[in-house]
Amino acid sequence: MLTLSTLARQASYGATARALDLTRATVVRRMRRLELALGYQLVEESQGKVRLTPDALRVVATAHEMNELVRGIGQAGEEAGPRLAGRVRVTAPEGIATCLLAPALAALRRQHPGLGIELQVSMAVLSLSHKETDIAVRLAEPSDGNLVALALPPLRYAMMAARAALASAGADALPLAGYDRAAETVPESAYLRRHYPQREPALRSNSLLAQVEAIRHGAACGLLPLYMLDRYPELTTLPGAAPMEKPAWIVFHGAQRGNPAIQAVRTWLRSTLEAAFGDSNDSSTVVRQSKR
């Protein structure tokens, strides 16, 4: 809705992109996704100019009213009680922590300035039961006991390459990038073996972000999360390549369910990741793991 509201004020894709520090292509892509989600046209283009449809203007007006209502409720809440304080440890995989959560920390800090966040980047599954972390984003359904898991929309992947490299060399000529041999069991490695059985990755790394850098600079092609397209406009998907998705969960210990700080961070995580992953009817699912 922020993109639509900004487009209503700026009246052009380029100005909207500059206002939101995005690329023009990202703004256009977000508007197309919103139109698909709502089921009707929001933007009309004529002679290089952008005009919102009557339906879009109604959506913007409704969103403005809701924002004002939420702002009023927030102010009332601040006046009614003390601010949240304390420190919450959040664990997430490298790409999610660096590309999605770290940029969104400013919004959380504005809402809860007394709350400290320790953002832990880890491919390992740190134990919530042993208090190694307070709340975690996991890309596999949790199996350890006495946890509450909230299902997020699935994290979608696609084969990607740099636009320039793909145009000059072609998909078949680009070498593959993938995880190192210590991560042969992860779904990304299994995907490459299944869909490219005759091609061994020429570039390997235990770091997703290292793979991203190699791919976006034209050294290889590889399987990356779709949110990388918004972050790096020089990336594009390989035509005809099969997609992949992984389940995503917000997980915390059942004993922390009523903790106000954990609740605030959980809400922030959910809104941030649902916006990045896309909406899903399954995102409200709660899975409780029984004690072992």
Mean pLDDT by 10 residues, the chain (292 residues): 80 83 86 85 80 86 76 61 82 95 95 94 60 85 79 96 94 94 91 95 96 97 96 95 95 85 94 82 44 44
Count of Cβ atoms closer than 10 Å to residue 22 Cβ: 20
DSSP assignment of 251-277: EEEGGGTT-HHHHHHHHHHHHHHHHHH
To the nearest 5 percent, what fractions of the chain are helix, strand and coil?
45, 25, 30
- The DSSP 8-state label assigned to residue 167 in this structure reads H
pLDDT (0 to 100) of residue 279: 53
What is the Cα–Cα distance from 31 to 42, expressed in whole angstroms? 8
The contacts of residue 234 (CB under 8 Å, 6+ apart) are 162, 163, 164, 216
Task: Tell which residue, 240, 239, 236, 214, has the closest CA to residue 164.
Answer: 236
| The CATH number, out of the four listed (3.40.120.10, 1.10.760.10, 1.10.10.10, 2.70.98.30), of the domain defined by the range 2-79 | 1.10.10.10
pLDDT (0 to 100) of residue 77: 56
What is the Cα–Cα distance from 171 to 168, expressed in whole angstroms? 9
Angle among Cα 249, 253, 257 to the nearest 5 degrees reads 95
What is the Cα–Cα distance from 24 to 12, expressed in whole angstroms? 9
Domain assignments of the chain as residue spans, ordered by start = 2-79, 86-292
What is the Cα–Cα distance from 167 to 278, expressed in whole angstroms? 29
Phi/psi class of residue 114: alpha, beta or left (left: φ > 0; alpha: ψ in -120 to 50)? alpha
pLDDT (0 to 100) of residue 248: 94
Contacts 24+ apart (CB under 8 A), 55-62: 56/4, 56/8, 57/8, 59/1, 59/4, 60/4, 60/5, 60/8
- Locate the DSSP E strands across 53-127: 86-92, 115-121
pLDDT (0 to 100) of residue 281: 40
- Architecture of the CATH domain 86-292: 3-Layer(aba) Sandwich (3.40)
Radius of gyration (C-alpha) of the chain in whole angstroms: 21
CA dihedral 93, 123, 156, 99 (to 10 degrees): 30
- 39's tokens: 């089921």
